[in-house]
Amino acid sequence: MAAKAEIAGQAAKTPTDIEHEELISGSEAIAHAVSLADVDVITAYPIRPYDTVMQYVAKMIANGDFDCEFIVAESEHSQFEIVKHASAVGARVFCGSSGVGWMYAFEALTVTPALRIPMVAMVGNRALDDPGAFGVEHNDALAVRDLGWMLIWVDNAQEALDTALIAYRVAENRKVFLPCAICTDGAFLTHSQYSVKVPSKAQVDRFLPPYKRDDLLLHPDNPITIAPQVNEDWVMEIRKQNDEAMKRAKGVIAEAYREFKEVFGRDYTNSMFIEEYMTDDAEIVLLGMGTISMPARVTVRKLREQGKKIGFVRLKWLRPFPTEELRKSLARFKAVGVIDRDYSFGSPSDGGVVFNEVRAALYPLAKRPLMSGFIAGLGGREVTIENITQMVEMLEKSVQIGKAEPETHWIGVRE
């Protein structure tokens, strides 16, 4: 084998042949996963910060390390439509966007889950224009939360790579057949480097079965009509099928994490939907999604040194929403503060999206924690240790007076 490779004048092994460790960004980690998953069709359109993933993909293709159809579309709408149709004929696909680019594709994002297309997309979370801002805000990905997209926020490059593989396995499971967006905080994750274990192709092949559409395949051998006019006669039944698919997704995700541990050795089984940090004896916890976990964990450690019983809960999957897991976890605390890197103007308590969702999930509990919402870090503004300490102090005050008032606070905003 080695001799043969020598004759060909090539290295015996390309990096994907063996498991190895690399210093790479979140975007690059997802590009690795896409290549390892042998994706067939990828569409790109430039917008910061997600587009770095496509730059890595393009480089792999140019160097002959990855074989797929790579189309630079003329808009995000076409970008998502092209892969939607490629998926319908049985191709594994990858796509992505950020901010207003994601919003430009909105019509395509709407029909993708409705058509049961198991697309995997990367969202490099970015503030929506106007005014212009490159930094992270979660409103782009959150806009599709009611449509049947599975949404997961990750907080480091290793998790980004692993989650991309898990996303294909879950999305393409016939029990689910829904698209999945891997949400990565712009700059903080897309452009930050981590030491990442890149698995081997053999491991990925063991973990990820081929994508099969079977009776839903669009092919002359299976002449079906997809997405006819159903009107009020059938639309409710079809919506209900999507509802059931999303409900089944939770079990499929759990199974994927268990299998992932077997194949790759990394264990997410104790933190599949939510990840708790120093919560064992905690009285007050903060909850947030994505890279907010970094300053939050540092602050928790600092306040712990002062003897405060503080913890942090990271919400990973927003869809399907881990209602039971959150009820079980959060009912133990006196107060919970939800950090939203998003806004929802005119919403209940004028709070953020995650705050209102978590609060709604806890409503049936007999014993509920006091809940406050913190809107922070919009447009990529840094959420500092001081900001998080301030949130904890507000939560402590609410515990003292037995009431969270006001329910929503904007943190780190100039008056």
In the complex, which residues of this chain contact other proteins (CB under 8 A)?
A: 38, 40-41, 67-69, 71, 73-75, 77-78, 81-91, 93, 107-108, 111, 210, 218-220, 222-231, 233-234
DSSP result, 154-182: --SHHHHHHHHHHHHHHHTSTTT---EEE
DSSP result, 284-339: EEEEE-GGGHHHHHHHHHHHHHTT--EEEEEE-EEES--HHHHHHHHTT-SEEEEE
216 vs 294, beta carbon nearer other proteins: 216
* Calpha distance 327→330 (Å, rounded): 6
Reported as half-sphere exposure (CB side, CA atoms, 13 A), residue 224 has a value of 12
92 vs 314, beta carbon nearer other proteins: 92
132 vs 220, beta carbon nearer other proteins: 220
In the complex, the smallest distance separating the C-beta of residue 40 from other proteins, rounded to whole angstroms, is 4
* Calpha distance 107→103 (Å, rounded): 8
Q: How many residues does the chain have?
A: 415
Q: Which amino acid is at 50?
A: Y
238 vs 413, beta carbon nearer other proteins: 238
In the complex, the smallest distance separating the C-beta of residue 231 from other proteins, rounded to whole angstroms, is 8
Lookup: tokens for 270? 């104790």
41 vs 256, beta carbon nearer other proteins: 41
111 vs 202, beta carbon nearer other proteins: 111
63 vs 229, beta carbon nearer other proteins: 229
DSSP result, 86-98: HHHTT--EEEEE-
In the complex, the smallest distance separating the C-beta of residue 338 from other proteins, rounded to whole angstroms, is 36
Strands 335-340 and 274-277: unpaired
In the complex, the smallest distance separating the C-beta of residue 201 from other proteins, rounded to whole angstroms, is 14
88 vs 166, beta carbon nearer other proteins: 88
216 vs 361, beta carbon nearer other proteins: 216
Q: Which amino acid is at 122?
A: M
Reported as half-sphere exposure (CB side, CA atoms, 13 A), residue 318 has a value of 29
Please say whether the beta carbons of 394 and 411 come within 8 A: no
Q: Which amino acid is at 182?
A: I
3-state SS class at 123? strand
In the complex, the smallest distance separating the C-beta of residue 232 from other proteins, rounded to whole angstroms, is 11
Reported as half-sphere exposure (CB side, CA atoms, 13 A), residue 229 has a value of 0
Lookup: tokens for 59? 């480089």
Q: Which amino acid is at 392?
A: V
In the complex, the smallest distance separating the C-beta of residue 306 from other proteins, rounded to whole angstroms, is 56
In the complex, the smallest distance separating the C-beta of residue 104 from other proteins, rounded to whole angstroms, is 12
* Calpha distance 356→353 (Å, rounded): 5
The gap between the terminal CA atoms of the chain, to the nearest Å, is: 68
Which of 183-222 are b and which e, b meaning 16 or more Cβ less than 10 Å from the residue's Cβ? bbbbbbbbbbebebebbbbebbeebbeebebeebeeeeee
Please say whether the beta carbons of 150 and 168 come within 8 A: no
In the complex, the smallest distance separating the C-beta of residue 246 from other proteins, rounded to whole angstroms, is 22
45 vs 277, beta carbon nearer other proteins: 45
In the complex, the smallest distance separating the C-beta of residue 62 from other proteins, rounded to whole angstroms, is 13
In the complex, the smallest distance separating the C-beta of residue 46 from other proteins, rounded to whole angstroms, is 14
115 vs 123, beta carbon nearer other proteins: 115
In the complex, the smallest distance separating the C-beta of residue 297 from other proteins, rounded to whole angstroms, is 42
Longest dimension (CA), the chain: 78
* Calpha distance 208→216 (Å, rounded): 20
